[in-house]
Amino acid sequence: MSLVSLNNVSKSFDKVQAVSNVTLQVNAGELYGFIGPDGAGKTTLFRMLTTLLVPDEGTCSVLGLDIVGEYKKIRPKLGYMPGRFSLYQDLTVEENMQFFASVFNTTIEENYELVKPIYSQLEPFKKRFAGNLSGGMKQKLALSCALIHKPDLLLLDEPTTGVDAVSRKEFWEMLAMLKQEGITIIVSTPYMDEAEQCDRVALIDNGQIMRIDSPKNVISSFKDALYGIKHSSKYSLITALREYPYAKSVQPFGEFVHYTDQRDELPLSELLNFLKSKNLEDVEIESIQPNIEDVFMELMEEQNHE
């Protein structure tokens, strides 16, 4: 059963086409990821799913209800965590929780079991103002507030942006746990490494969906042999590789440069000799497994060539 369904949805702001012709379904109980860079249209999609924005074209239904005509019935069943921290900084942790519980006509006690694993970490600080919490704590509080009324659908817009690596990891563990509780979750993120934690992902760029599949299938769609190449001067390495006549794609990835070749078999010594001729000594090359980001880059390139 699909809990969320978008059919040919488009939305533009003045002259900018934020979302164009998006069709997707999210099943009950799924942990679904919107993956894409900043400005891809993820937040616009979220604002439509949260009934805050009306699409220009197409239809959108959430929990079987139309977002335009039946938004009042949808809102009480949604848990929403906007990209920007949007709780009251001048209220304490506990007061924020109480406030959001009460506007959803419930109490902290009533749904305590659901939020306990997250909220219990905050309880030592419950008298502290929300504005004085650390980034990771703020995010946990926001998640607790979004969950306090036991929503059917949890919408998290870039919840891990600006949060440290440890808190990010913890956060995804919490999401996995909530999924066990049967809550459907849609999460957006610009971090490709997080995508692999989702059941299914939609790769979004320029307001369009490039691919929808499970992370595993997305990765296996990457057919080329992938190499990680490393050199102390990354910039000259990239420039040199781009000049190599057989190069298919050259993408910087952290300390490595990801490289694919136009030929089926890459003659390593030939490439090393080529780089040597460009004054690049001590180059490390290793064969590596592709990840979602590689697929994303490939899809983006394809889109740009069209």
- Closer residue to other proteins (CB): 39 or 83: 83
CB of 53 to other proteins, least distance (A): 5
Under the criterion CB under 8 A, does residue 76 sit at the interface with other proteins?
Answer: yes
Rule CB under 8 A: is residue 9 a binding residue for other proteins?
no
Cβ contacts of 121 within 8 Å, gap of 6 or more: 140
Question: Considering the rule CB under 8 A, would residue 84 count as an interface residue with other proteins?
Answer: yes
- Per DSSP, the three-state class of 132 is helix
- Tell whether residue 53 is a contact of other proteins (CB under 8 A): yes
Q: Among 190, 146, 176, 140, which residue's Cα sits nearest to residue 34? A: 190
What binding mask, one character per residue, do residues 240-269 give for other proteins by CB under 8 A, x or -? ------------------------------
Strand 78-81 versus strand 65-66 pairing type: unpaired
Min dist. Cβ of residue 71 to other proteins (A): 9
Per DSSP, the residues of 143-195 read: HHHHHTT--SEEEEESTTTT--HHHHHHHHHHHHHHHHTT-EEEEEES-HHHH
Does the protein bind other proteins through residue 42 (CB under 8 A)?
A: no
Q: Minimum Å distance from CB 4 to other proteins? A: 15
Strand partners, 7: 59
Task: Count the site residues for other proteins by CB under 8 A.
Answer: 28
Report, in Å, the least distance between residue 238 CB and other proteins. Answer: 39
Q: Is 185 in the site for other proteins (CB under 8 A)?
A: no
Structure tokens at 41: 């249209």
Q: Which of 105, 180, 279, 289 binds other proteins (CB under 8 A)?
A: 105
The binder of other proteins chosen from 14, 15, 72, 166 (CB under 8 A): 72
CB of 55 to other proteins, least distance (A): 11
**Which residue from 191, 106, 95, 93 is spatially nearest to 139, judged by alpha carbons?**
93
- Asked if residues 241 and 247 have their Cβ atoms less than 8 Å apart, the reply is yes
Site membership for other proteins, residue 132 (CB under 8 A) = no
For residue 103, give Cα distances in angstroms to 39, 69, 123, 221, 285. Answer: 32, 22, 21, 46, 58
Determine, following the binding rule CB under 8 A, whether residue 80 of this chain makes contact with other proteins: yes
Q: Catalog residues that contact other proteins under the rule CB under 8 A.
A: 47, 50-54, 72, 75-76, 78, 80, 82, 84-91, 95, 99-100, 102-105, 145
